[in-house]
Structure 1
Amino acid sequence: MNSQKTLAVIQDANVFDVDPLSGFMPPIEPLSQLPTEWGAWEAILDDATSSKIQLGDKLGLTEGEKEISEAWRARVRK
């Protein structure tokens, strides 16, 4: 494949909203954390992640995993 043909393909990527530098990923990185006014939601997510919360109807959950998940859900509802 010659360089002119390759360049044409890259330029055509813009037609499909594909960024020439980042491809299908957004050209600007997404937020790693929500703004401070959303801090309560960030804390809930951090708690869920560190507690390894599982879906309530997931097959094979131990009683301990169910209890941890149910306790987390109760805290979120408050």
Structure 2
Amino acid sequence: MRIGDRVAVTATLTDPAPLTVGMTGTVYWIGNWRNEWTRQIGVRWDDGRHLMLLPGDPFRVIGSADSNALQQNA
């Protein structure tokens, strides 16, 4: 996982206001993974929300930072 990768939610998240299944977004921040408090992935979701993914959250990578850069430069 890298900054710029595209991700999609694959099941309902445990959140008071969860994202819908299938929602996509772009990774803009990755924690340092040294302990449970820093295992986070910051995502700018396509609906305008900025929510982090945590270990165990249901998601998958749907595009890499490299392929996104190629598409933007085309």
| TM-score calculated relative to the size of structure 2 | 0.18
More strand per residue: 1 or 2?
2
More helix per residue: 1 or 2?
1
| TM-score calculated relative to the size of structure 1 | 0.18
Greater Rg, structure 1 or structure 2? 1
